[in-house]
Structure 1
Amino acid sequence: NLRQLRATLARGFSCVVASAQPSERGLTMRVLMLAVVTANAAAFLRPRPLLSRHMRALAATVPSLERAESVNAAQLITEHPMNNISPAIVERVGRSLHRTPNHPLNIIKKRIEGYFVERAKKDGVEFEVFDDLAPVVKITQNFDDLLIPEDHVSRSPSDTYYINDELMLRGHTSAHQATLLQNGFDNFLCSGDVYRRDEIDASHYPVFHQMEGVRVFPHLEPAAGSDPVQGNKEVEADLKDALEGMVDAVFGPVEKRWIDAYFPFTEPSFELEIFYNDEWLEVLGCGVMQQDILRKAGRGEQPGWAFGLGLERLAMVLFDVPDIRLFWSNDERFIKQFKDGEITKFKSFSKYPACYKDVSFWIDEETPFHPNDLAEIVRGVGGDLVEEVKLIDEFTHPKTGKTSNAFRINYRSMERSLTNEEVNEMQDRVRDQLVDAFKVELR
């Protein structure tokens, strides 16, 4: 059983690593850690029922869309040179917080879905809801289908989790947009877990949850022979009306303002802000879809709109959750505070003391290094015991060209007090892995 598997792996861990050659120990450790994580993840990767009987029937009509249950955690870490997925990330795959009853992310998701389904009925159309599509997508789905340039920063391995040169963990739910359009869906919402290498602080986490919304207007397609117009005003007006209504459904009547923005996949593009708790808060990004995206999806000159929002961003504000790590907590003191259909303010339980540790190092200018690389190492070692990683000093030596970086790592558990011994042990592992991965010179 699962418990016996964990125990067996744990007993064999040290002796296998000790017997490996020094040059092989890194890979050996990684493979064994993956085995443990796969065992832990097994409970979360059991097949779950889809959203409804209607959705089960719908799945059969979309053969090119894999369901979340199809993901094999053991296949996410490969020996491909592009692979940069850690066991800590694999452990999160399949958790599906946005589908967990009584969870803040699920509460908000269902409220937004309910609003769009009802609004669509008034217009005589139907909004399809997808919330269980597999997070493994083709690189072309995540970038090329959305007209994201080859040199865009989001393609960098310091920002994105790659499996190999063809597959990746989706960086946004927009990765499914073109496929759904190609399969004939005009109006849909798509929610799911998304993955980005990122900094460590109270509002950033490498796995978070998004909702994508799309509506296409076949009846507004220009007549044959007429000039296509990017940025149909009727489409833009419907977009703004829909999203202003959605905000009121979630937050109640609030002051709103539209900000002109830029996204590669929409034109014109906007950000919607609301005045909430005495400050302006960015809620989402949106716009009229680039016609090239629709053409490549087989929609010709049919216009449409799209939006994307982060569920954690809204939940932190609505539920007064101060730290994004809490959404992953299994602590009953957190879980039992929330109930389906209700927005309740989080009541903080005891905040345990923090323990700060600094790490400083020299790095050669030709060595590729990004702060997100350190964040990935720290997450792999400390997981959710790390509250923040912050750059506190940086300078470049005028003669050697080497750069000195000093980072402060804040260790703090949300559920217990950490001992100096365990923090020191984690910090030593971070330092060792920095040297192994980037050949830095510790200071």
Structure 2
Amino acid sequence: MSVLTAEELHAALALRDLSDPAQGPHAIQLIVDQLRTALGQAWPYTEIWTRRDHPVVSLADNYDNLGYAAGAVTREARYTRYASAGEVLRSHTSAMIPPALRELAGSGASDVLMVCAGICYRRDSVDWQHTGTPHQLDLWRISRNVTLGETELEGMIARLVDTVLPGQTYRTVPAVHPYTIHGRQIDVLLEDQWIEIGECGVAAPHVPRMAGLDESWTGLAMGPGLDRLLMLRKGIRDIRLLRSTDPRVAAQMRDLTPYKEVSAMPAVRRDLSVVVGAEVDISAEALGDRVRQVLGADADAAESVEVRGETPYDDLPETARARLRLEPGQRNVLVRLVLRPLDRTLTDAEANQLRDRVYSALHEGPVLELIGQ
């Protein structure tokens, strides 16, 4: 098992949680407030519990107590950030639900809406709508007074969209989660593209049972992405802007009014030709994770990373194999790296240095083609 170093853990915990009012105001908090208020009005006899836990959680609450199988691939260190053998940086705010349910089991409450917001830690692609440290909101209503099922879930979905994205066209598609039944993914239409804003379902009976609640309890589970909701609400097309320190941008992250574009820095494109083994994962999520790791403090300079093509050994001309010194079973992968810091323009030398760091991290062949030296 790969465990984070003390330095890596400190860096992760030092990142500001935009959903936490104690760390300064941000428009993401207004989204949380709006949903808390709207659902409170829809369910006037339901108690509202707002919970904010430390991002280092037990492996059990992040996975086992939500119903994840012992062998689930998501538990692997390439997907999960292990702080120790039994603790992880939460991969979703659903990790706050098991302790909240245990608290409910020891209380006298009978109908509760749990509001759990916070930063999460994942492996994800590098593009305009993804980040490795997204903000999520878990909204779970648990009741033994009201039987909660698909009809109530549909009403909750409609309330979510009407509150945060009024007038938007939305759809739901079936989705499978270990902690729900009748699971769904919620998408909204942006121009001609469906954008996922969250997932939901009827709470799977085993989740409250494991927390000590008997079969009389039913529930609804919803997990919208706060970054995505804010971006759609304000018309923002670059997730990095949510954390921008540019005063022209940061001032606009205090309200929910439409975003006004500020002059953008020019993009720098670098195309990389790398050699990788047949077993190497070159999915968008895997590439994004590796690029963020190798760039470290400079990771926000990467606007996007994408695979433009891949050619296996057998399909490459002999001249290309010889130039790259490709071995049987390896592939030649073309990767496009777009660099555009939000606060400054890169010089060619700086862009080349960043390019070389990414290239060196991805390339497994003996011939290095560095341009920044």
Query: Structure 2 length as normaliser, TM-score?
Result: 0.83
Q: Which moved more, 1:90-99 or 1:360-369?
A: 360-369
Pairs within 5 Å for 1:175-186: 175-184=95-104, 186=112
CA drift at 1:199: 1.4
CA drift at 1:104: 2.4
Q: What corresponds to 1:134 in structure 2?
A: 54
Greater fraction helix:
1
Q: What corresponds to 1:5 in structure 2?
A: none
CA distance in 2: counterparts of 1:426 and 1:206, whole angstroms: 19
1:81 aligns with 2:7: no
1:429 aligns with 2:357: yes
CA drift at 1:299: 0.9
Pairs within 5 Å for 1:222-241: 234-241=148-155
CA distance in 2: counterparts of 1:200 and 1:276, whole angstroms: 20
CA drift at 1:242: 2.6
Cα offsets for 1:47-100 (capped at 9, x unmatched): xxxxxxxxxxxxxxxxxxxxxxxxxxxxxxxxx733379749825645121135
CA distance in 2: counterparts of 1:85 and 1:395, whole angstroms: 39
1:362 aligns with 2:275: yes
CA distance in 1: counterparts of 2:59 and 2:14, whole angstroms: 18
Pairs within 5 Å for 1:62-101: 81-83=2-4, 87=8, 90=11, 93-100=14-21
CA distance in 1: counterparts of 2:304 and 2:353, whole angstroms: 18
Alignment identity in percent? Answer: 28
For residue 46 of structure 2, what is the amino acid of its counterpart? V
> What SS is found at the alignment partner of 1:360?
strand
Q: Which moved more, 1:146-155 or 1:198-207?
A: 146-155
Match of 2:40 among 117, 131, 139: 117
CA distance in 1: counterparts of 2:269 and 2:5, whole angstroms: 27
Q: Does the 8 Å contact 1:84/1:157 carry over to 2? A: no
Unpaired runs of at least 5, structure 1: 1-79, 221-231
1:155 aligns with 2:69: no
> What SS is found at the alignment partner of 1:317?
helix
Q: Does the 8 Å contact 1:394/1:404 carry over to 2? A: yes
Pairs within 5 Å for 1:212-231: 212-219=138-145
For residue 390 of structure 1, what is the amino acid of its counterpart? E
Q: Structure 1 pair 410/257, CA: closer, same or farther in 2 (3 Å)?
A: closer
> What SS is found at the alignment partner of 1:90?
helix
For residue 364 of structure 1, what is the amino acid of its counterpart? G
Q: What corresponds to 1:393 in structure 2?
A: 309
CA distance in 1: counterparts of 2:188 and 2:299, whole angstroms: 33
Match of 1:353 among 266, 289, 293: 266
1:194 aligns with 2:114: no
CA distance in 2: counterparts of 1:127 and 1:138, whole angstroms: 24
Q: What corresponds to 1:57 in structure 2?
A: none
Q: What corresponds to 1:34 in structure 2?
A: none
1:263 aligns with 2:174: no
Pairs within 5 Å for 1:292-311: 292-301=206-215, 302-311=217-226
Cα offsets for 1:213-260 (capped at 9, x unmatched): 11112135xxxxxxxxxxx6x432222223312321222245544433
CA drift at 1:280: 4.7
Q: Does the 8 Å contact 2:165/2:232 carry over to 1? A: no
Q: Does the 8 Å contact 1:359/1:406 carry over to 2? A: yes
Query: Between Structure 1 and Structure 2, how many residues are aligned?
Result: 345
Q: Structure 1 pair 92/415, CA: closer, same or farther in 2 (3 Å)?
A: farther
CA distance in 2: counterparts of 1:276 and 1:400, whole angstroms: 44
Q: Does the 8 Å contact 1:169/1:195 carry over to 2? A: yes
Greater fraction strand:
2
CA drift at 1:212: 0.2
Q: Does the 8 Å contact 1:104/1:319 carry over to 2? A: no
Cα offsets for 1:331-388 (capped at 9, x unmatched): 1101222444xx2111111111111223332233466774345323344263211111
Q: Structure 1 pair 406/162, CA: closer, same or farther in 2 (3 Å)?
A: farther
Match of 2:241 among 304, 326, 344: 326
Q: What corresponds to 1:315 in structure 2?
A: 230
CA distance in 1: counterparts of 2:281 and 2:166, whole angstroms: 47
For residue 143 of structure 1, what is the amino acid of its counterpart? Y
Q: Does the 8 Å contact 2:295/2:357 carry over to 1? A: no
Q: What corresponds to 1:404 in structure 2?
A: 332
> What SS is found at the alignment partner of 1:184?
helix
Q: What corresponds to 1:55 in structure 2?
A: none
1:103 aligns with 2:21: no
Q: Which has the higher contact order (CA 8 A, sep 6+)?
A: 2
Q: Does the 8 Å contact 1:361/1:440 carry over to 2? A: no
Cα offsets for 1:249-308 (capped at 9, x unmatched): 222245544433222211111233445657654332111111111111111212111110
CA distance in 2: counterparts of 1:384 and 1:326, whole angstroms: 10
Q: Does the 8 Å contact 2:142/2:219 carry over to 1? A: yes
> What SS is found at the alignment partner of 2:4?
coil
Unpaired runs of at least 5, structure 2: 106-111, 315-326
Q: Structure 1 pair 255/428, CA: closer, same or farther in 2 (3 Å)?
A: closer
CA distance in 1: counterparts of 2:330 and 2:15, whole angstroms: 42
